Structure formats: structure tokens, C-alpha cells
Amino acid sequence: MRNIFLFFFVFFNLNVFANSLDENLVKKQIAKMLIVGFDKAKIDNSSQIVKDIKKYQLGGVILFDKNLQDKSKSKNIISFEQVKKLTQSLQNLVDYELIISIDQEGGKVQRLKKEYGFIETLSANDISKLSLNKVRQEYKSLALQLSELGINLNFAPVVDLAINPNNKVITKLNRAYSTNVNEVVKYAKILIQEQEKNKVTSVLKHFPGHGSSLEDSHNGFVDITNSWNKIELEPYKKLIKQNSVDMIMTAHVFNKNLDENYPATLSYKVNTKLLRKKLGFQGIIISDDLQMKAISKHYSLNEVVRLTINSGVNILLFGNQLAKYKTTDIINTIYEEVEKGNIAYEKIIQSNKKIKNYLFRK
């Protein structure tokens, strides 16, 4: 009898809570936690991204130069003036600062290429061979270019350690500065400083470390249990202590010594217990692209959003490069999980506060 009473008490309270939510408000708060990709280099009122931004007040967008499903097709980036016009058009849709983000690390990972008329940036590995004055000049040029284009968030620097020479996605692509923690911190901090001067938010990646991996999480499950070393946390520790970090991106890597059940992006043990509580990080945690196969092949959309948000992640990235999700479907799925009580509404509130406090405050 007691169990029956408890069931009806919980059921009744969930219904009361669900009915008390302002659906429109909550969906806009959820939308603030999203950065999404879209297909056009030019937008107008008929563009889906325009409709989504106006309807939901989206948190932000991410720009790409190529469509990964058909690399012969351009996506958002054709020329300097075109990108500048695109970002202005996007910002003009809203009365708040829309996040307009990009992957512009340098070297193999940069969307603003010389062939489109942009100033290219050296890879992290090549940067590490320069004098500090030249490093600062290089990163000043990068930050200025982003600022002039209206891009206000860069998914860089990479602070992974180059500890596995056979790493296909980091070391072999020259995306890491060094095997040495202090060297990595030194160069990363210069990029952070130059971007901050130009009002571009930096995102450290890929927590808790991708430098020891062998596989690429774009393509599938990546297990670093036997290769990961706790020294990979050191760049984060040092930069957090120096108050140099506003945002950190999670990695879709699995390490059973950190969490026996989930990859880092979906892990409360990694994102809250380790990053927040042990390392003391108070800023914004953003997921890597949740459409990468390391995640999308193994979890439904409901599972992905529930686990990611409950793990402590504040912003969810859907690049729409490897698969297509409608923004409406993502928002409705998260709202459904909140309604069911699978995601605490307080998590949505907390993330909105962090986004407001840490982005564009300087």
C-alpha cells in the first residue's frame, strides 16, 4: 500500500511540475545550450537556420568550409566578404550576441583557407618551432582575422599532448604542440591571450586528453583505457589555476579507469567529478560534435541529450556534418526529457547562467 501511495505521489508531482513549465520559455532556454551547423553560405528569411534562430533564440552556429558528405560542395565559407556578410546577417537576427564559432586551429584543421583568400595559420607543431615573438604575431593575425569576420568563438587551442606518435587524429596531423606539458601551456596561453584581446572566446580541447589515442572518434568508438596517462590532465590543471580558461570541450573517448560505462562526453564522473570538482573548473563545458560516430552509432538522440546534460555539459554541439538533425527535433527531445524528469530543469537553468556569465563578458 505504501509503494502504491508513493507511486501516485511521485506521478502527481511530476505532472504538476510538467504543467507548471512555460513550454515556450523552457525551449528557448534549451536552445541557448545549442550550437548547430547549417548548409548555406548566404541566408534569407526562407533559410531554416534563420527560422530556427528567430523562433528559439538559438545559442549559436558553427561554420564549415566543406560539406563532409560531398566535399565537392562548399558549405558556409567562400570568401572573406561573403563570410563577413553572413555573420552580420546572422547577428542582425537577434538582440543578443549569437555565438558564431569555427575550428581554426591551424595546419590541417582550419576552415579559413588560403584558397578562399584568408590568412592561413600554422599547425600547433609548426608553431612550437618558432620564436615566442613570431608565435604571438601568428596568433595575433589569427585572432584579428576572426574578429574582423565576426567570428566570436574558436575551438582552439588543442592542449592534447603528443605522447602517441601513431595517433591518427592528433599527432599525425600535427595538431599538438609538444609532449611537454609546460610547452603546451606556453603556446596555448598565447593563443588564448590574443583571442581574448580580440573578443574571441577560446575553447580548450579535448578533455580528458586525446593525445594517447589510436583511433578517430569521428569514425567510431575510441578506447584509451590502456594508453591514457594522467599527465594528460596537466595542461588543463595549469591553465585552470592561471584563470585562463572559459570553455573546455569534451572528447568522445572511453576510459574504464575514469568511467566504466560511458565515454567522457556522456560521463558525470569525468565532467562533474573530475573536471568540475577535482580540477575546480567553473566555466562552460561544451561537447564535441554529438553526431560523431563514437556517440551516434551507440546511443539514441534521447540517450545522447539526457546523458550529456546530466554529465555536466552546458553546450551541446551538433555540426550537421556527419548526420542531419532538425534543430526542432533536438529541442523537443530535450524538452521531453525535462518533462519526464529525466533531466532536471535546474540543469537547464544552471547552463543558461554559465553561458551568460562566461561568454562575451570581457
Which amino acids are annotated catalytic? 288
Cα 17 to Cα 22, 29, 337, 342: the distances in Å are: 10, 17, 13, 13
Crossing angle (nearest 10°) for helices 48-56 and 23-31: 120
Question: Using CA atoms, how far apart are residues 35 and 57, in angstroms rounded to an integer?
Answer: 11
Task: For residue 190, count other CB atoms closer than 10 A to its CB.
Answer: 18
Q: What is the DSSP string of 176-207?
A: ---SSHHHHHHHHHHHHHHHHHTT-EEEEEEE
Beta-bridged to residue 23, according to DSSP, are: none
Q: Cell 541557448 maps to which residue?
A: 32
* CA 108-112-113 angle, 5° bins: 65
* C-beta separation of 264 from 287 below 8 A: no
For residue 105, the surrounding DSSP H or E stretch is strand 104-106
Q: What is the DSSP string of 128-141?
A: TTS-HHHHHHHHHH
Question: Using CA atoms, how far apart are residues 297 and 277, in angstroms rounded to an integer?
Answer: 30
